[in-house]
Amino acid sequence: MGYENLEELIAVIAKLRAPDGCQWDREQTHSSLRPNMIEEAYEAVDAIDDNDMVHLKEELGDVLLQVVLHAQIASEEGAFTIEDVAKGIKDKLIHRHPHVFGDTKVNSTKDILDNWDKLKAEEKKHRKSAMDGISKAQSALMSAQKISKKAVKTGFEWPDEESLYDCIYSEFEEFKDAKKEGNREHMEEEFGDILFAVVNLARWNKIDAEQALLKSNKKFMTRFRKMEELATKPLTEYSFEEFDELWRKAKKTV
């Protein structure tokens, strides 16, 4: 199996960045391309959620474009090349899969993940806290999930699910108290605590909070569009009772 197209893609990007290439491509930097990396990754995830393989192939190409572009820029700066990127991830995968490339014996997926965490910790000896390594760029919801998982690995965990519910209820009460005070900064703090506690409930039940919220967003938008279809007058003219009835009708159809 050859990789002619991959090699040609790398050559095409190099040409676009060359003095006689494309002005727009030459002007790009790691910082200017940052939004593109995030956008293309999310679009690939959308294709995965839709189980659309044609779209996924296209979006993975867009993600790959970002990888090659960043590597090309780094190469021009003398930092690293696309070959360095490939070697780095290849070596990491081999090192973290000793049950495949070495003599380590495993009996379950848990053994594999435990080995992964142990090897990762050995690679990241410079990290002093369990909280080190949390991305500053990912969504707050995704960060909360990772922070929670990292804390649990140290043994910092609720004794049972009921105590977690108690924590969530108490956070709501603290939010109400902050609202009575009329202190918006305190309200924001307590509301954040509510969200963080709920993310822990998702983790406890092996639910991906980010995916759960994305699905709820999609469901709400679908039902809202159905409401717009069913409406017999502008939505702005609906009373709360009329809205509630319209929502119920929409909910029955989607």
Q: Tell me if 122 is assigned to some domain.
A: no
Instruction: Identify the domain boundary among 171, 190, 207.
Output: 207
Residues 8 and 65 in one domain: yes
Tell me if 6 sits within 8 A of 67, measured CB to CB.
no
pLDDT-based confidence at 106, cuts 50/70/90? confident
Q: Is the pLDDT of residue 108 over 70?
A: yes
Residues 196 and 228 in one domain: no
Residues 218 and 201 in one domain: no
pLDDT score at 114: 84
Type of residue at 108:
S
Count of CB atoms within 10 A of residue 46's CB?
A: 15
Q: Is the pLDDT of residue 1 over 80?
A: no
The string of pLDDT tens digits covering residues 32-63 is 999 999 999 989 999 998 999 999 999 999 99
Output the six-digit token pair for 134. 């949390």
The H-assigned helical ranges of 77-139 are: 82-95, 98-101, 109-123
Mean pLDDT of 63-88: 97
The string of pLDDT tens digits covering residues 210-242 is 889 988 999 999 999 999 999 999 999 999 999
The string of pLDDT tens digits covering residues 116-149 is 878 877 777 777 787 887 888 788 998 999 999 9
Q: Tell me if 185 is assigned to some domain.
A: yes
How far apart (Å, rounded) are the C-alpha atoms in residues 84 and 65? 16
Residues 200 and 217 in one domain: no
Output the six-digit token pair for 205. 């039940």
Q: Tell me if 227 is assigned to some domain.
A: yes
Residues 135 and 195 in one domain: yes
Beta strands (DSSP E) in the chain are none
Residues 240 and 199 in one domain: no
Q: 167: which residues sit within 8 A by CB, 6+ positions away?
A: 158, 197, 200
155 half-sphere exposure, CB direction, 13 A CA radius? 0
| pTM (2 d.p.) | 0.68
Residue 189's nearest CA partner among 203, 166, 171, 201 is 171
Distances (CA, A) of 232 to 227, 238, 242, 246, 253: 10, 10, 11, 10, 17
φ/ψ of residue 205, rounded to 5: -100, 20
Q: Tell me if 121 is assigned to some domain.
A: no
Q: Structural domain tally of the chain? A: 3
Q: Tell me if 201 is assigned to some domain.
A: yes
Residues 145 and 200 in one domain: yes
Select the more confidently predicted residue: 68 or 152: 68
Tell me if 235 sits within 8 A of 228, measured CB to CB.
yes
- Structural domain range at position 236: 212-253
Residues 74 and 11 in one domain: yes
pLDDT-based confidence at 171, cuts 50/70/90? very high
Mean pLDDT of the chain: 93
Instruction: Identify the domain boundary among 55, 71, 95.
Output: 95
Percentage above 70 pLDDT, the chain = 100
Residue 216's nearest CA partner among 162, 107, 141 is 141
How far apart (Å, rounded) are the C-alpha atoms in residues 107 and 86? 30
pLDDT score at 253: 87
Distances (CA, A) of 242 to 153, 231, 237: 49, 10, 9
Q: Tell me if 66 is assigned to some domain.
A: yes
Residues 87 and 132 in one domain: no
Residues 200 and 219 in one domain: no
Burial of 71 (0-12, 13-18, 19+ CB in 10 A): buried
How far apart (Å, rounded) are the C-alpha atoms in residues 13 and 6? 11
Output the six-digit token pair for 234. 């502008």
Residue 82's nearest CA partner among 13, 184, 36 is 13
How far apart (Å, rounded) are the C-alpha atoms in residues 244 and 4? 59
Residues 139 and 199 in one domain: yes
Q: Tell me if 239 is assigned to some domain.
A: yes
In CATH, what number is assigned to the domain containing residue 192? 1.10.287.1080
Residue 60's nearest CA partner among 76, 75, 44 is 44
Residues 201 and 222 in one domain: no
Q: Tell me if 9 is assigned to some domain.
A: yes
Residue whose token pair is 């994305």: 214
